[in-house]
């Protein structure tokens, strides 16, 4: 697969055109940002881990019936994906209180929910990704009612599959963010990435954080945490 000109550069990835108009190449960087780009840094080796991990998890999800953008891993940092137009919604599933949920509702981190929750943020950097409900998304024509229903059902299915997979690895899936896109024929597929950048992953035995919160909160051991979850994933594939 030949890499043509760069289509755009995001915070953690670059995207390139290919000779096939329906296929793009994603290249994962070691750059890390947090708090809507206010905090910047690098996590050595992150791009390699996120590329592999996201691809392995997407393949697991495909097998379980969730359509994704994944096509083929090209090398340690680059993957061919189906070209989509991203639905500008960040879809967040939570199993345990943490992060902005804990802050917003005054709930200690670690409170386990009886049922997973779902929320949407409007993917818009200038506005700081404001929280929105599905009626707001409909009003702004970000997606149709049918697309929103499908996205919700995929998101809960992803949670079930990943929660049980990570549990086998001795890792608790606390929460995560998904993005969906539309193929040229309108089919909704899971896109973007699934990695310690976009999931909260806690060691099931010790509660130790094995994700980007170590970077956000200056806890140290960021590279080791990413390597540790990758290692556990590979051992349990
Ligand atoms: N998340 C993400 N990108 C974002 C916001 C959140 O990947 O722009 C992920 C985050 O890593 C966590 C989950 O979504 O796993 C829930 O994040 P939360 O709303 O608690 O926000 P945060 O505390 O990360 O600001």
Q: Which tens digits make up the pLDDT trace of 104-124?
A: 999 999 999 999 999 999 999
CA distance 4 to 21: 11
Domains of the chain: 6-82 (3.30.200.20), 85-221 (3.30.470.20)
Q: Which residues line ligand 1 (CB under 6 A)?
A: 90, 92, 98-101, 129, 175-177, 198-200, 212
Q: What is the mean pLDDT of residues 155-169?
A: 98
Q: What is residue 30's predicted lDDT score, i.e. its pLDDT?
A: 98
For ligand 1, atom 19, the nearest C-alpha belongs to: 100
Q: What is the mean pLDDT of residues 91-108?
A: 98
Q: Which tens digits make up the pLDDT trace of 36-52?
A: 999 999 999 999 999 99
Q: What is the mean pLDDT of residues 77-93?
A: 98
Model confidence at 1, pLDDT cuts 50, 70, 90, reads: confident
Checking if the pLDDT of 189 tops 90, the result is yes
For ligand 1, atom 5, the nearest C-alpha belongs to: 177
pTM value > 0.95: yes
Q: What is the mean pLDDT of residues 197-225?
A: 98
For 53, phi and psi rounded to 5 degrees?
-65, -45
**13-17 vs 23-28, strand pairing mode:** antiparallel
Ligand 1 geometric centre to CA of 140 (Å): 23
CA distance 154 to 157: 5
For ligand 1, atom 11, the nearest C-alpha belongs to: 198
Q: Which tens digits make up the pLDDT trace of 128-158?
A: 999 999 999 999 999 999 999 999 999 999 9
Query: Looking at ligand 1, which atom is closest to the CA of residue 36?
Result: 8
Q: What is residue 78's predicted lDDT score, i.e. its pLDDT?
A: 98
Q: What is residue 34's predicted lDDT score, i.e. its pLDDT?
A: 97
Q: Which tens digits make up the pLDDT trace of 4-31?
A: 999 999 999 999 999 999 999 999 999 9
| pLDDT over 70 percentage in the chain | 100
Q: What is the DSSP letter of 10?
A: -
For ligand 1, atom 21, the nearest C-alpha belongs to: 100
Angle among Cα 102, 108, 113 to the nearest 5 degrees reads 80
- Residue 72: enclosing H or E segment and its boundaries? strand 70-73
Ligand 1 geometric centre to CA of 199 (Å): 7
| pLDDT over 90 percentage in the chain | 99
CA distance 27 to 12: 9
Q: What is residue 92's predicted lDDT score, i.e. its pLDDT?
A: 98
CA distance 223 to 211: 9
Contact 65, 157 (CB under 8 A): yes
Q: What is the mean pLDDT of residues 90-101?
A: 98
Q: Mutate which of 177, 197, 222, 229 to test ligand 1's pocket (most atoms within 8 Å of Cβ)?
A: 177
State the residue for tokens 């090398």: 75
The dihedral built from the CA positions of residue 216, 201, 51 and 120, taken in this order, carries a sign that is: negative
């Amino acid at each position: 697969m030949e890499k043509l000109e760069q289509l755009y550069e995001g915070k953690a990835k670059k995207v390139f055109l290919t000779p096939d108009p329906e296929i793009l190449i994603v290249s994962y960087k070691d750059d890390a940002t947090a708090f809507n780009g206010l905090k910047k840094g690098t996590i050595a080796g992150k791009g390699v881990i996120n590329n592999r991990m996201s691809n392995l998890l997407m393949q697991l999800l495909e097998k379980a019936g969730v359509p994704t953008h994944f096509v083929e891993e090209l090398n340690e940092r680059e993957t061919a994906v189906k070209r989509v137009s991203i639905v500008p919604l960040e879809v967040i599933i939570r199993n345990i209180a943490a992060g902005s949920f804990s802050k917003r509702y005054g709930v200690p981190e670690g409170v386990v929910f009886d049922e997973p929750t779902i929320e949407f943020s409007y993917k818009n950097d200038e506005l700081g990704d404001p929280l929105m409900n599905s009626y707001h998304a409909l009003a702004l024509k970000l997606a149709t009612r049918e697309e929103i229903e499908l996205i919700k059902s995929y998101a809960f299915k992803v949670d079930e599959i990943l929660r049980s997979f990570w549990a086998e690895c001795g890792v608790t899936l606390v929460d995560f963010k998904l993005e969906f896109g539309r193929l040229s024929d309108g089919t909704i597929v899971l896109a973007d990435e699934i990695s310690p950048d976009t999931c909260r992953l806690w060691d099931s035995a010790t509660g130790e954080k094995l994700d980007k919160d170590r970077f956000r909160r200056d806890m140290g051991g960021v590279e080791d945490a990413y390597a540790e979850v990758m290692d556990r994933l590979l051992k349990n594939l």
